[in-house]
Structure 1
Amino acid sequence: MNRAYFVTGTDTEVGKTTVSAGLLQAARRAGLSTLGAKPIASGCERTARGLRNSDAVALIAESTITLPYEAINPLAFEPAIAPHIAAREAGVTLSVDALVPAMQHVLAQQAGFTLVEGAGGWRVPLAGQSNFSDLAMALRLPVILVVGVRLGCINHALLTAEAIARDGLVLAGWVANIVDPQTSRLEENLATLSERLPAPCLGRVPYLNEASAAAVADYLALGELA
């Protein structure tokens, strides 16, 4: 069975790529072919081969199926700012209709486990009134939510889960990524998330000094995916 998911987060800088790379690594350990994509990325570096994004590169490193970089990350912007602002400054219109064929090409590779990673949170703006969530809706992908565990994460997680359900998509699972190891009442916060989020927890990733895909995968369980 080929499984594909859209990865979103409760906010920016909550470890979406760290967790995505870990999930791909876990799928590889389970004997699945893997493929990760980053449709839009800001904060890219100029190289001899063009703009390259470290998040996209991390996903490629954990993918067993090889595609050209531009197929994995079709829209790359240099400034490390909100994608819609970076696109506006570059004179590019962020169109969901333009991204859908690129991501359908990724999905058409029929990897055993495919991830399409968003940018920031669920309602990150694109052009006009469209949002990144519209791409997930157009692709009809179930969603994996990365919860950056820190003060305020419960509210962010529950609101994101409500928005995903309102958009008609399935929350397939969530990952607790502890971005602030000093979070007060950590266990109580995690218990509340487990009680209230309508999906299984795929793992609890502690704060790691070196969050490699292999290290993160040790804390993840794909078998819990809805």
Structure 2
Amino acid sequence: MLEQPGARGVFVVGTDTGVGKTLIAAGLLHAFARRRARVVGMKPVAAGAVPDPDTRGDGWASEDALALRAASTLRVSAALDNPVLLPEPLSPHLAAARTGQRISVDALVESYHALAAQADAVVVEGAGGLLVPLSDDATGADLARALGLPLLLVVGLRLGCLNHALLTAEAIAARGLVLAGWVANRIDPAMSCVDDNIATLQRRLPAPLWADVPHGALNARHLPFNETLIDDFLAR
């Protein structure tokens, strides 16, 4: 799939839930903002709502969407940067069914294009892992494919991450998607041989390492992205 014309976009996907996608996506927005004037984050589907201090929506918001908004330079409506907000923190297809909704990939793509028309760069954060169900017949991978965006894979470094990362990379390739790069996020300080695991992934994943994020990193503005890779990506 080729990326649609307009703003430069990237789809951030994780090896699993809880691997730090939001932190990485926000960090990427800050990195893009040092190079482009109008950058914006998008959380197409969020499951789990909290009171919204900004009151742009109906009084509720996703914590992930709030973090992406804080890192964005472009202010947009909640209907564009988080078109589907579900109250319960469940798999999206289950959370949607419990509210009588059905998530439409086509509608999410329309929201993305409306958002991208206003921006120089867009960072889209997926929900959970690549194959998380969005409906009975669509997954996060189907959304990534419909958007036509390259993917950035966030690998949460913990026991089992090699298998999760390599399986995800195979699933990306099997669907004709482009893996632009990956991020090593050291989420487990007790993990053994962490540097050896990163080296293994560098040899086996068919894309460059964009960042090696230390455990406990909380400031998205200062994540250690490879500046050359960021420049190259935005220049394409």
Alignment TM class, shorter chain as reference: over 0.9
Indicate if the aligned counterparts of 2:74 and 2:119 stay in contact, CA closer than 8 A. no
Pair 93,57 (structure 1): closer, same or farther in 2 beyond 3 Å: same
Pair 52,8 (structure 1): closer, same or farther in 2 beyond 3 Å: same
In the other structure, the counterpart of 1:122 is 130
Unpaired runs of 5+ residues, structure 2, are 1-5
Q: 2:196 aligns with which of 159, 178, 188?
A: 188
In the other structure, the counterpart of 1:133 is 141
Tell me if 1:5 matches 2:10.
Answer: yes
Letter in 2 for 1:99: L
In the other structure, the counterpart of 2:88 is 79
In the other structure, the counterpart of 1:198 is 206
In the other structure, the counterpart of 2:71 is 62
Spell out, residue by residue over 1:105-156, the C-alpha distance to the aligned partner (whole angstroms, 9 max, x if none). 1122232x21111000000001112111111101110000000011110110
Among all aligned residue pairs of Structure 1 and Structure 2, give the percentage whose two residues are the same amino acid.
Answer: 47
Separation (CA, whole Å) in 2 of partners of 1:92 and 1:223: 43
Number of paired residues? 222
User: Match of 1:126, SS?
Assistant: strand
Separation (CA, whole Å) in 1 of partners of 2:170 and 2:227: 23
Indicate if the aligned counterparts of 1:46 and 1:78 stay in contact, CA closer than 8 A. no
In the other structure, the counterpart of 1:22 is 27
Higher alpha-carbon deviation: 2-11 or 23-32: 23-32
Spell out, residue by residue over 1:176-208, the C-alpha distance to the aligned partner (whole angstroms, 9 max, x if none). 011101111111101001000000100100111
Separation (CA, whole Å) in 2 of partners of 1:2 and 1:45: 30
Letter in 2 for 1:182: A
Q: 1:215 aligns with which of 209, 216, 222?
A: 222
Separation (CA, whole Å) in 1 of partners of 2:46 and 2:182: 22
User: Match of 2:153, SS?
Assistant: strand
Unpaired runs of 5+ residues, structure 1, are none
Higher alpha-carbon deviation: 121-130 or 7-16: 121-130
Pair 222,5 (structure 1): closer, same or farther in 2 beyond 3 Å: farther
RMSD: 1.6
Tell me if 1:33 matches 2:38.
Answer: yes
* Mapping for residues 85-164 of structure 1, pairs under 5 Å: 85-111=94-120, 113-164=121-172
Separation (CA, whole Å) in 2 of partners of 1:31 and 1:89: 40
Q: CA deviation at 1:31?
A: 4.4
Q: CA deviation at 1:222?
A: 4.5
Indicate if the aligned counterparts of 1:8 and 1:16 stay in contact, CA closer than 8 A. yes
Provide TM-score, normalisation by structure 2.
Answer: 0.89
Letter in 2 for 1:196: R
Q: CA deviation at 1:2?
A: 4.2
